[in-house]
Amino acid sequence: MTNSAYISGVAMTRFGKQPDRTIEQLGREALLKALKDAGIERRDVDEVFCGSLFGGTLIGQRILRDLGMTRIPITNVENACSSSSAALREACAAIAVGRAETVLVIGIDQLTRLGGGTIPLEKTDIEVNLGFAMPALYAMRARRYMHETGATSQHLAMVAAKAHEAGALNPYAQFQNRITAEEVLASRMIADPLTLYMCCPTGDGAAAAVVTTHKRAAARGKPVRVAASTLQSGLYKTGFRDMATSELTVRTSKLAYEAAGIGPEDIDVAEIHDAFTSAEMMYYESLGFCGKGGALGMVERGDTKIDGAKPVNPSGGLLCRGHPVGATGVAQICEAVWQLRGEAGKHQVKGAKVALTHCTGGGISGLDHGACAVHILTT
């Protein structure tokens, strides 16, 4: 890549269950607000990438049609939970090679249309046929992590309580209520040791970002640079795979740190893929925020709270902001941009200059994850 990509505008809908709205309405709300935030008109957009897992055929075209945004390149991207993160990477590439000067990225999904339950998986996958489901997989990983590090259910509950503390301050969050670690432990069991509040909710929502050149972003006064945009797929293993470490996250984040010319110690705020509380703790370690087993101390000290030494998920994360799958990656970018601009309101991390977002996607036989995207943003 040659030209640096910048983000000049971001916006999102509130996440949650919104069965009374169409998926197209959610997408249009987010994109129009993002264009307004960037100070541009619809006609200024050269290209569009739309990330979605369950949006259906030509979701991007369906969103843009009624706004008159036609006769431009529209690419729909599916990469499980990393769909819109992958879309953002493609937008950055379009800017880098000079193919476009302003690119719109949309992340969107409406899971209430699926009728509830766990996210449906590919039926031809052998592990799915043997009973694989995301909560069950993460429960196995949690048990292995607890065995190797000495983590307890109390640690997992403290992560959830921290998420609710942050979510209560975020007007876009699906859950805006505080709960205690004791309430987390008392909630119904989903897959031992994971209780209800240790698992992220599904819902509906959309997020959008405007990716552009430095010149155009600087015209708005607060340009945020994409210092790194990395995407990797999982390593296939036919035998036992390490369930207590995310090799894919280690590898992808290492590439991101190298591209940005920084290390994990330089990250001021992070939005990571906390689909389950045990995963958040594992990712502290896989992203290099601490060594193996170091997540226990981070949780106990409150390091990852908004006012902690290494704030993680000040938005409330997937656990409280919500997880409309395809919308999550760009929602993380929205939060990172607001943090770097100093516009995050009550959940602002003081003095944030460097932000990291991390979004994994999917689970299929023999892989840690199907995809992982890490972005690093700077002022």
List residues with catalytic annotation.
81
Closest CA to 99 of 89, 107, 91: 91
Rounded to an integer, what is the distance from CA 371 to the centroid of its chain? 12
Strands 6-12 and 204-212: antiparallel
Q: In this structure, are strands 354-361 and 269-271 parallel, antiparallel, or unpaired?
A: parallel
The CA R_g of the chain, rounded to the nearest whole Å, is 19
d(CA 352, CA 354): 6
Q: Residues 247, 248, 254, 255: is their CA dihedral positive or negative? A: positive
Rounded to whole angstroms, the Cα distance separating 67 from 73 reads 15
DSSP 89-158: HHHHHHHHTTS-SEEEEEEEEEGGGGTSSSPP--TTSHHHHTT--HHHHHHHHHHHHHHHH---HHHHHH
